[in-house]
Amino acid sequence: MTAIVTWNIQYGLGCDGRFDLERIVATARAMGPMDVFCVQEVSVGMPEMDRGKGEDQAAALAALMPEFAPVFRPALDFAGAEDGKRQQFGNMVLSKLPVIQVIVHPLPQPAAPGIKHMRRQALEVVVDTGAGPLRIVTTHLEFHSETQRTAQVERLREMHAEASANERRPALEAGGTYAPLPRPSAGLICGDFNFPLDEPNYARMLAPFADDTPALIDAWTARHGNRPHDPTCGIHDADQWPQGPHARDFIFVSAELAGAVKEVAVDTKTNASDHQPVRIALER
């Protein structure tokens, strides 16, 4: 069994106003056995995010989870205004499983005049599950611009199709930097997609591909059928989410993994972030 938790942790800020990374880790662990923790909104050296501390949250999370290998890759990386130290913000993966390779994918940021927006990326790791390699992508799409989200969804689909095509038509065996590393079609894309179920981008993620690429399937549907999604935000923070509880954090699995989905659960009780953690368990 391979268990993965994905969570937009809002840089450790709970709906009660507390910054508490220890609470984040304890809450994720309490959901059950966990092999991989996919985290969005991790900040490093950004005092405006954590009331002046400017904590290295990637290092803090790694210290709180010493049995997990940390992989942090920022979407934003720039010099601080005063001391010149790097300020970073982005996605992180912590894995108990051996990490075979790491790939960083910048996501499109087409012009969106008159709308605030920020650079986004997808962080991909391939882990050795013992039952074969598994490709895990965690991402956080643009909130303010649907045009950018649409472009970012297309890039996520392209990434999945690329992995599938390279698996079906492998490269020439070689050595050194040309040595091929496992990057299977079998995988999942998880995170904060910033689209609700009724936005066309949700349906687009599930759309079939024109070639032999396996479709992406909502893991919630694979496990729970027509049961409505549990909400993943808007439960405890009505100020940020006046529309109320709804789902916008998802796990999409490639079709060959649909039968392996044994559990998908949302912790709807915690208020440790404005989003809720989602756990998936795969049995291959």
Mean per-residue pLDDT over the chain, rounded:
95
**pLDDT score, position 81:** 67
Residue 68 has pLDDT above 80, yes or no: yes
* Beta-sheet pairing, 133-140 with 187-192: parallel
Q: How many domains does the chain have?
A: 1
- Average pLDDT value for residue range 43-72: 93
Band the pLDDT of 82: cuts 50, 70, 90: low
Q: What is the CATH number of the domain that holds 252?
A: 3.60.10.10
Share of the chain above pLDDT 70, in %: 99
- Torsion, Cα of 26, 27, 31, 32 (10° steps): -10
**4-28: average pLDDT:** 97
- The alpha carbon of residue 110 and the mean position of all alpha carbons in its chain are separated, in whole angstroms, by 21
93 touches 35 (CB < 8 A): no
Q: For the whole model, what pTM was predicted?
A: 0.96
Span 99-158, pLDDT tens digits = 999 999 999 999 999 999 999 999 999 999 999 999 999 999 999 999 999 999 999 999
**Hey, which residues does 218 pair with through a beta bridge?**
252
Q: With contact defined as beta carbons under 8 Å apart, do 103 and 87 qualify?
A: no
Q: Is the pLDDT of residue 208 over 80?
A: yes
Domain assignment of residue 248, given as a range = 2-282
Look at residue 94 and tell me whether its pLDDT is greater than 90: yes
| CA separation for the pair 112, 125 (Å, rounded) | 30
> What pLDDT, on a 0 to 100 scale, did the predictor assign at position 164?
96
Give the pLDDT confidence score for residue 145 in this predicted structure: 97
C-alpha 42: how far from its chain's center? 12
Confidence of residue 213 (pLDDT cuts 50, 70, 90): very high
Q: At which residue do the structure tokens 């001391």 appear?
A: 83
pLDDT for residue 52: 80
